[in-house]
Copies of this chain bind each other. A is one copy, B any other.
């Protein structure tokens, strides 16, 4: 069984009719399941989550993007979230039974199709065509408003599509990435400096664990502090590694862990890692989970 996920972000979070008709394009594909649509009025942005076998997901993403491009006009878009285009970011995420290589191929084919239809496209993360284009914030610098000028230089020639400014749709960033796990550990202390210090130690940028982004957060209402993380590849650094590290670091200051929390959805394989680690169940497999077998038998 193969599950590829697509989590596109579009620059429309206020008009429910438009959002519904864009979602409808995904629902037209019977092999694809639309799990979630989250719209934010302040950001004027919506995030869709759908998944299925790779070819079906690619097809659904294409209908989805074309409808969004038809309905969204960036010339009148206002919102609090950084953005560069009508269909702003389209990541493809291997959830189960899909190699990253295949997710990259889907992203590249999807981008090529959109290029043919006059949209221009940058590839990012695992689908990036050069190291300088891996990071989304870097590509998106200057946002929609700076795009016309950005496109005049050779450095920001799009990976696909015409090399000209498209005022209605802006640019689209398409890529492939590992499932992202939003994971927080709350500490039984009001010492915000400690949370920031531990966040610094745990994150890769400052010499910590690979594929970990982290920051300290002050949870004043709860009288706690938090190490808030994104685990960008749980096969490399999973929940047990960061939890145990934070527990130990806090313990040195006689601070206990209050609780930890997983935000949003995670693939079953993340739980496989936890079981293998904590009870030394080295051979445990998600294929031993009844619910997984039901999915496979369909």
Bound state CA distance, A240 and B279, in angstroms? 7
Copies of this chain present: 2
Bound state CA distance, A298 and B284, in angstroms? 27
A290 contacts the other chain (CB 8 A): yes
Would B274 and A278 count as touching, CB distance under 8 A?
yes
- Least distance between A202 CB and chain B CB atoms (Å): 14
Interface string of A239-276 (1 = CB under 8 A from B): 11001000000000000011111101111100100110
Mark A residues whose CB is within 8 Å of B: 3, 5, 33-36, 51, 95-96, 179, 239-240, 243, 257-262, 264-268, 271, 274-275, 278-284, 286, 288-295, 297-298
Would A271 and B264 count as touching, CB distance under 8 A?
no
Bound state CA distance, A292 and B3, in angstroms? 13
The residue from B243, B265, B271 contacting A293, defined by CB atoms under 8 A apart: B265
Knowing A271-B275, A274-B278, A274-B279 are in contact, say whether A293-B260 is a contact too (CB < 8 A): no
The interface centre, meaning the residue of A35, A243, A271, A283 with most chain B CB atoms within 10 A of its CB, is A271
Would B267 and A280 count as touching, CB distance under 8 A?
no
